[in-house]
Structure 1
Amino acid sequence: MNKKPVNLGNNISFFDVFDLGMENRTGTYVIHDEKLTIVETSASPSIPYLLEGLKNLEIDPSEIHYIIVTHIHLDHAGGAGLLLKQCPNAKVIVHPRGFRHLIDPSRLIAGARLVYGDDFDRLYDPIYPIPEDRLIVKQDGETLEIGKRTLTFYDTPGHAKHHFSIHDSLSNGIFTGDTIGIYYQDVEEFDFFLPSTSPNQFDPDDMLHSLKKIEELNVSLIYFGHFGKSNNPSLVYSEIKKWLPVFVETGKEIYLEHKEMTLEELTPLISENLFGKIKAYLSEKNIPSNHKVYTILKLDIDVCSMGLADYFIRIENKK
């Protein structure tokens, strides 16, 4: 597998790093400025593809100044420690809540093993700790000058509490990680976006608050972690506002019917119901049932359903 980097304009390149071994799943952005900056590393099995992408751009890893991870979920930051071994002059920029987990990733690893079980090693191993002196924390509203542009970091919880989004002054674009969802570019017939409600810090109110925060910046472009650039922010906002209540209400209905069930028992019930609603929507849009998007969509909805079940269990436990 190999795809050449794409020039997105504004001196930003983008290439596929084949997260989970899948095309159009997770990408890495390269901001070409005086201080060369990367946004998102994906997991460690993606690092060879990332290094190949840099090679295709004629970039030596020693030229990289900053590696930014929007949040510390392993499909965005799991490979940061491995990549850093190839980038002697780089520092990793992380949300304040993610800082200690990159120094000691043991809890990240344990949590991912619970979700992915026997597949963990194949999908995410190895995960290396990052030395504290190679990390930079950015608080809400703080900036980073990398040359002709200013990057501004915004605390944007909802998908996770350790999540920030990064506004780029030159393109008037924003790197949103998973905060305002996933862009399924496998669906070429129309722009298809869904929220990402994965465990264990999903909060729909926080997600909508973060979406509003981004909306008020009046950005021109959205750079998704999954997958690529959208030049239609207003459509992104409206689609997430449409689908997030569907996700939450589906999870709530199943939970209220089966309060006695465990997380493991609730998840497949929510997933089946939610997947059915999404499939019906896509069918109305003339997307066939054997379309390639369903491979990754099924995986995503399983994880999102686990996050929904976890959310309602947490609410119940707080009573």
Structure 2
Amino acid sequence: MFRRENTRAQNVYNSSIRTSGFSHSMTSHGIHVIDTGFVRPRFDAAYLLVHNGHGAFIDCGTNHSVPRLLGALDDAGIDASRVDWLILTHVHLDHAGGAGELIARLPNARLLVHPRGARHMIDPSQLWAGAMAVYGEEVMEQSYGRLRPIAAERVAEAPDGHVLDFHGRRLRCIDTPGHAKHHMAIYDEQANVCFTGDTFGLSYREFDTAQGAFILPTTTPVQFDPEALHASIERLLALKPEAMYLTHFGRVENVEHLAGKLHELIDAMVDVARQAKDSTDRHARLVHELTQLYAVHTAAHGWPGDREALVHWLGTDIELNAQGLGVWLDRA
């Protein structure tokens, strides 16, 4: 739910992005990929959809990301008053921490969120308290910024199947649990793409090879559910999208192949967890075995990096996936 990073390096990076240029690119159908600047380049994305002179954001990063999102509006020629929606895939802070701050800068926008997540945007005190218990106030302020509540009248809930008419462009909200119970994906019917949050895994561009994108699931605490995640992936695949837009990070294609890899790794990670269940040093064993698992799969993908490089790019995700598998074991 909250990403544990090298705090010193993250704080230096967060400080630098506030005064640096905005980092984003546009793909087809007016979809802008925005690097939110969280943690490192090409780690955390938000999206701006531009259609008929109006804008809608999907996810937003943290408070420190807001200047980048507003900069993307400027570059797209869209005034803040013509942004109608901020749509959240879920309320984990790397996706939604800056929602209140961004909405405050968008005078006519409303927030669209899964029904289970709405209350946390209206009153983020529980989200803040949970993160504070892990990191402390100083790290929370530096990494995310103080969470700002959103007035209830500006928050709309999106139950499964809800269709948002974005000036003639249909955006369908799909309940996709497995990573979190309050997770939804957004299917853009015009572009035939899905914005998947964390449901369709993580794909960092550093692992791209001649074989294409490398992908792995995220079992981040505390609501990992492998069966639900398998089902959610299949539900998105049934739409036959030409691409997925991931928060971590960007657009990926060849989605049927990637879905197969996700299914394979979910099962492999569950097997790792079950084998470690009764270990006295369970967490350390989970970290070790996940590192080994990902080393095998990245090598098969043709990635030339060594173990040190693997841990450099995936160390945080290995740690969080180990934590998530541990919570799942305890709950099961």
Q: Same fold (TM over 0.5)?
A: yes
| Maintained 8 Å contact 2:57/2:85 | yes
Deviation at 1:293, TM superposition (A): 6.0
Which residue, out of 58, 71, 90, partners 2:77?
A: 58
Does the residue aligned with 1:251 lie in a helix, a strand or coil? helix
Quote the Cα distance in structure 1 between the aligned partners of 2:114 and 2:319: 26
Q: Are 2:96 and 1:77 aligned?
A: yes
Deviation at 1:68, TM superposition (A): 0.4
Question: Which residue does the alignment assign to 2:229?
Answer: 207
Question: Which residue does the alignment assign to 1:11?
Answer: 30
Does the residue aligned with 1:257 lie in a helix, a strand or coil? coil
| Maintained 8 Å contact 1:186/1:292 | no
C-alpha distance after superposition, 1:23-65 (max 9, x if no partner): 0111121111134211010111222222222222233222210
Quote the Cα distance in structure 2 between the aligned partners of 1:287 and 1:2: 31
Cα 1:295–1:179, aligned 2, differ >3 Å: closer, same or farther? same
Structure 1: gaps spanning 5 or more residues? 259-264
Between Structure 1 and Structure 2, how many residues are aligned?
308
Moved more, 99-108 or 132-141: 99-108
Does the residue aligned with 1:150 lie in a helix, a strand or coil? strand
Does the residue aligned with 2:244 lie in a helix, a strand or coil? strand
Does the residue aligned with 1:162 lie in a helix, a strand or coil? coil
Question: Which residue does the alignment assign to 2:306?
Answer: 289
Does the residue aligned with 1:126 lie in a helix, a strand or coil? coil
Which residue, out of 80, 102, 127, partners 2:121?
A: 102
Does the residue aligned with 1:214 lie in a helix, a strand or coil? helix
Amino acid at match of 2:185: S
**TM-score, with normalisation over the residues of structure 2?**
0.87
| Maintained 8 Å contact 2:203/2:214 | yes
| Maintained 8 Å contact 1:105/1:127 | yes
| Maintained 8 Å contact 1:148/1:170 | no
| Maintained 8 Å contact 2:30/2:50 | yes
Question: Which residue does the alignment assign to 1:181?
Answer: 201
Does the residue aligned with 1:108 lie in a helix, a strand or coil? helix
Q: Are 2:291 and 1:271 aligned?
A: no
Quote the Cα distance in structure 2 between the aligned partners of 1:246 and 1:203: 14
Quote the Cα distance in structure 2 between the aligned partners of 1:152 and 1:274: 35
Question: Which residue does the alignment assign to 1:302?
Answer: 319
Amino acid at match of 1:278: Y
Does the residue aligned with 1:217 lie in a helix, a strand or coil? coil
Q: Are 2:328 and 1:311 aligned?
A: yes
Quote the Cα distance in structure 2 between the aligned partners of 1:17 and 1:291: 26
Which residue, out of 78, 82, 87, partners 1:68?
A: 87
Which residue, out of 55, 58, 64, partners 1:36?
A: 55
Cα 1:283–1:218, aligned 2, differ >3 Å: closer, same or farther? closer
Quote the Cα distance in structure 2 between the aligned partners of 1:73 and 1:282: 27
Cα 1:277–1:131, aligned 2, differ >3 Å: closer, same or farther? same
